[in-house]
Amino acid sequence: MKVIPIKLPSSHDFILFGDNHEGSHMSHESGVDKLVSQIADCSGAYAGHVGDGIEAISIDDKRYDLTAKESIPLQQAKNFIKRVKPIAPDKLKFELLGNHCLKLWKFGNLAEYMAGELGIEYGTYSAIIEISDKFGLIYRMYVSHGFGVLSSNAKDPEQRKANKAASLKQRLKNKAGDCLIMAMGHTHQLIVVPPTEELIMEHSTGKPKQAYIGQGNATDKYIEPNRRWYVNTGSLYKLYTDDIEVSGYGEIKGYDPTELGYPVIEVRDRKVTNIRKVTV
């Protein structure tokens, strides 16, 4: 865990992306290239990578299969560096350690290597990101590569969404008390849970009046869990490919399709105004 201070303009977009698994035929390379191009071309766009940038599965690993496009993890890392170099270090601000690189720990830390080659912060597996401008702190994010699975057996699709959202909040809410945004990757699901808007009664005018509470104050030392944003950052890793005649582990295990994409944190005049999902 590290605390990473980042200074940005008062209005900006901050993109969290990852789980692209460079080196696999299932990696959505054109999606990554398009994202990098968009960030490079937009003056107010910045990003952080939440891990699993490379497949990092060596040929003696039981998980190794024919989906490998590049079988050498170090070469995968070099290819990833080349792919995102156009936005580093000015716009790509940090790199996290994912579980795939963690599997190769005995050979060295490839996530830290990639961060060093890109000239960006290595955040370890989880990090607190403090975003400030010339006036001071704007907001904090807790960002982790992630853990576990988000699943639901509910038959109704809306209930499944609600169950996964609740599971995401439960998993993240106690990891940090002063972060407006709680985010993780790993599950390959793209989920954004906004602060809960609750109806209350207040009496500041001397009379009972209805009011709503929603997003918390981003610079408070403690932000009530229901007043935060919760984000699962999606992936750029395909379930199927027609590049070659192979089946990925997701197809073999019977996983359902997930949205390929990433969340964009929109900040306007020092305030987090929205977190929107972008699919590619």
Distance CA 278, CA 202 (A): 37
Contact of 168 with 150, CB cutoff 8 Å? yes
Structure tokens at 54: 């490379």
- Of 220, 234, 223, 222, nearest to 275 by C-alpha is 234
Cα within 13 Å of Cα(239), Cβ side: 15
Apex CA 196: angle with CA 158 and CA 9, to 5°? 110
Structure tokens at 257: 């399709």
Distance CA 173, CA 275 (A): 18
Per DSSP, the three-state class of 160 is helix
Domain extents for the chain?
2-279
Distances (CA, A) of 241 to 27, 28, 68, 250, 269: 9, 9, 12, 11, 42
Q: 237 φ, ψ to 5°?
A: -135, 120
- The identity of residue 270, as a single letter, is R
Report the top-level CATH class of 2-279: alpha beta
- Of 213, 248, 209, nearest to 227 by C-alpha is 213
In this prediction, residue 252 carries a pLDDT of 85
Tens digit of pLDDT per residue, the chain (280 long)? 999 999 999 999 999 999 999 999 999 999 999 999 999 999 999 999 999 999 998 766 666 777 888 889 999 999 999 999 999 999 999 999 999 999 999 889 999 999 999 999 999 999 999 999 999 999 999 999 999 989 999 999 999 999 999 999 999 999 999 999 999 999 999 999 999 988 888 888 888 888 888 899 999 999 999 999 999 999 999 999 877 788 888 888 888 899 999 999 999 999 999 999 999 9
- The CA radius of gyration of the chain, in Å to the nearest whole number, is 20
